[in-house]
Amino acid sequence: MPVRGPIPLSVLDLAPSTSGSSTAEALRNTIDLARHAERFGYARYWLAEHHLTPGVVSAAPAVLIALVADATQTIRVGSGAVQTGYHTPVIVAEQFGTIAHIHPGRIDLGLGRSGVGRLIERANRSAAGSSPRGGTTARPSVVDGLLIPAPAKIAFDPGRLQRQLDVVGHRDDAAERYGQDVRDIQAFIRGDYRTPDGTHLRSPAAEDADTQLWILAASAGDSARTAGELGLPLAANYHIVPSTVLDTVAAYRAAFRPSATLREPRVMVSADVVVAGDDATARRLASGYGPWVANIRSGEGAAYPTPAEAAAYPWTDQERALVADRLDTQFVGSPATVVRGLRILRDATGADELLITTITHDHADRVRSYELLAQAWARPD
């Protein structure tokens, strides 16, 4: 039975590599965790897409999703998210259609806009005190008990970032084409795709695939509006860009139009979580998160450290500021502590589902965290 409690819980996995382990171990741990998540009652198991990022092994979500779907029986498996800027619509539709034809009714296709450069520009502008959309300011606030932190100033080197995007094959027009890419993917699945000149093209691998489309959004911009306008479910981002989550959800709800998929808006909200038997143990297990995020946000990346390595990490003031929003919004503690925080997140955002990502150095601690959360969440409020 799904872990419903007040609302269902699902899993987002980055297949993290940890200090002293190998890529193969990280991938085997992903498959093992998926089996446990299914047994614990989680509704979905989603895989991220990150390229050229030491510390994150989930770079080929379609491949991992196929492996996880084969290794499980009932849990829905999907992407959180396929970055459309790295792929053409037909390739995405064919990859996920292929998997869905083998595992009908179990595959989710989560789509992200991959507007990396625009996201960094907006985050830096907001951190400097400018809020062009009028929704996010540089000051932290508490809304209905939920912390909305000040936006972080992302520290990527623009030149390095551009070289990474070039290597991966990022399309320059990806952000502007996002809405059309989503519509094209839908058309290939329906079997009615037409080129601009009216030519009808069909893909047997994609056509009639029993897959559920989701839109992932980190701001109140194009992604949230696209999800609303197309009547698709939205996954809003509290675990990476927590400063914008309320604006994102509000923009989606404002733009929502009923569709054959949904009659009413459906919102899933992501959260970083570490659960242990008591608060102190959970804080120790989560101690590597700050250095890990700092390395990723600097553009370098590194394996997730042990608690001892995290304790010896040579923090600078700049790095602490770089990760403050993520650390301040992570849910860490005993089952009772974390459930209390997640209920606030649920109520403040109006979420219909929560997407939980948990990273610890030891795989057994990560599995146990998900187990403790599932048990505690299933109890009545």
Question: Is 125 a residue whose pLDDT tops 70?
Answer: no
Question: Is 133 a residue whose pLDDT tops 80?
Answer: no
Amino acid 335: pLDDT: 98
- Region of poorest pLDDT, from 68-72, 138-142, 205-209, 273-277: 138-142
Domains within the chain, CATH numbers bracketed: 9-377 (3.20.20.30)
Amino acid 107: pLDDT: 98
Asked if 325 and 39 touch (Cβ cutoff 8 Å), the reply is no
Amino acid 135: pLDDT: 40
Nearest Cα neighbor of 194 from 123, 90, 108, 110 is: 90
pLDDT > 90 in the chain, percent? 82
pLDDT in tens, 76-119: 999 999 999 999 999 999 999 999 999 999 999 999 987 555 54
Q: Which residue has the tokens 């498959």?
A: 31
Bridge-partner residues for 134, per DSSP?
Answer: none
Asked if 76 and 36 touch (Cβ cutoff 8 Å), the reply is no
- C-alpha to C-alpha distance for 332 and 336, rounded to whole angstroms: 10
pLDDT in tens, 294-310: 998 887 889 999 999 99
Q: Which amino acid is at 125?
A: R
Question: Is 293 a residue whose pLDDT tops 70?
Answer: yes
Q: Which amino acid is at 158?
A: P
Question: Is 357 a residue whose pLDDT tops 60?
Answer: yes
Mean pLDDT of 114-139: 51
Nearest Cα neighbor of 50 from 58, 39, 40 is: 58
DSSP H or E segment with residue 146 = strand 146-148
Cα angle value 240/41/59 (rounded, 5°): 40
Question: Is 55 a residue whose pLDDT tops 90?
Answer: yes
State the average pLDDT for the chain: 92
pLDDT in tens, 239-288: 999 999 999 999 999 999 999 999 999 999 999 999 999 999 999 999 99
Cis amide bond preceding 127, omega within 30: no
One-character DSSP codes across 273-309: EEE-SSHHHHHHHTTTHHHHHHHHHTT---PBPPHHH
Cα distances (angstroms) measured from residue 329 to each of 125, 203, 288, 341, 352: 21, 43, 15, 10, 19
Question: Is 172 a residue whose pLDDT tops 90?
Answer: no
Amino acid 130: pLDDT: 45
